Amino acid sequence: MALANLSLRLIFMDNTKLTAENRTSILKQRFSQLFGGGSRTYQAPGRVNLIGEHTDYNSGFVMPAAIGFHTMVSIAPRPGRKLVIYSENYSEHIELDLDHLPVARTGHWSDYVIGVVKMLERAGKTLVGANVLVVGDVPQGAGLSSSASLEVAIGYALLDSSDHRPDQTSGTMCNGTGIDRTKLALLCQQAENEFVGARCGIMDQFVSSHGKQGQALMLDCRSLDYRLLPLPDGVALAICNTMVKHSIAKGEYNQRRAECEAGVRELSKCLPHVLALRDVTAEDLDTFGHNLPDVVRRRCHHVISENARVRQAATALESGDLPAFGKLMLESHRSLRDDFEVSCSELDLMVQLAGQAEGVYGTRMTGGGFGGCTIALVESACVEAFQQTVQEGYTRATGCKPEIYVCYAADGVGQMF
């Protein structure tokens, strides 16, 4: 397929039938145009959270799945200690001197790259110079973790290009000191926390590193223990973008964190073992929560009940009980709407429309809230009708046409064919 002057990103976004081999060939061709010579190619996925919302920063449980939207990287070593990185999405390049990296963020897309490079070097990974081509098809601003996808893809590619080869048997990234996928995820999270300045949890980078095709991942955000859970064949993940993000989102998110922390401080006076809401049971809240302000009590109730729902959802997936899983999704949405108060009219409408469509097992808001996306589990045979019904209903009610992304659970970061 000739590239001509057509954006690589548009090719990937508009042609959903491209095989992995096609994508790799196109990337290599574009890399050769930009830099000359051959390259190795890698990709890391975005993610959607099936259940377990606002539990991550409370040391709780989440259940994301990696999805078939990716950041893709072609890379080849170059002499010296310079990185030359071209972003197809932004049609611009940056150059980084590995011995004199920027000390402060600028708000540019390259902050995510620079942050990862700094954390890898700080962890003792001596990187080599490289030419790098980056292109992503993870929808930006939709809450599908395009930033984590970029971080993990860049980190993995730089390590491999610097002769830190992945062990094909264990999945561990090995060199003299070794770095595994969990370590990579932690370094990428650290880059976003410390350099980019976003207080994200570990979920996004973790599932981008550890995701598996056809499976959801239940993660303990405290211990980082995880379980892979089967998503049945014939079931699609339908992500419905409301196309709105209310301006209060950031401030309200910080307020919710503060309210959860206030609950922990009060409950720990009676329950000394409590370090996070993860440690509080429903019975504890009934017994010792009478001194909490009503709003704080409701925030705590959501987190405690949501952790229980994630565990129940894992049992439902393991037994193949999708109706039970779908019921838990709806309960999660109601809790987020009523107790945690992070939904909005657009999200509620999208959940209502999706819940009425044929072949839907369950649906809920996903992400931080106040706009963004919902997630629905839909029988694959009903996907086209689902898209039409939800899109028409939402547009009619709001005057805004939503985007609906149909995905299946995908593998985590790795080298492309």
Provide the annotated active-site residues. 204
DSSP readout, 169-188?
A: TT--B-SSS-B-HHHHHHHH
Distance CA 16, CA 236 (A): 15
Gyration radius (Cα) of the chain, Å:
22
Q: Which of 105, 100, 103, 95 is nearest to 147 (CA)?
A: 105
CA-CA-CA-CA dihedral for 135, 54, 66, 308, to nearest 10: 180
Q: Is the CA virtual torsion 282, 286, 290, 294 positive or negative?
A: positive
Tell me the one-letter amino acid at 295: V
In 3-state terms, what secondary structure has residue 34?
helix
Distance CA 85, CA 34 (A): 10
Residue 142 class from Cβ within 10 Å (0-12 exposed, 13-18 middle, 19+ buried)?
buried
Phi/psi region, residue 188 (left: phi>0; alpha: psi -120 to 50; beta: rest), is alpha
Identify any residues that bridge with 10 across adjacent strands, giving them in sequence order: none
DSSP H helical ranges for 180-238: 181-190, 203-210
Identify any residues that bridge with 217 across adjacent strands, giving them in sequence order: 228
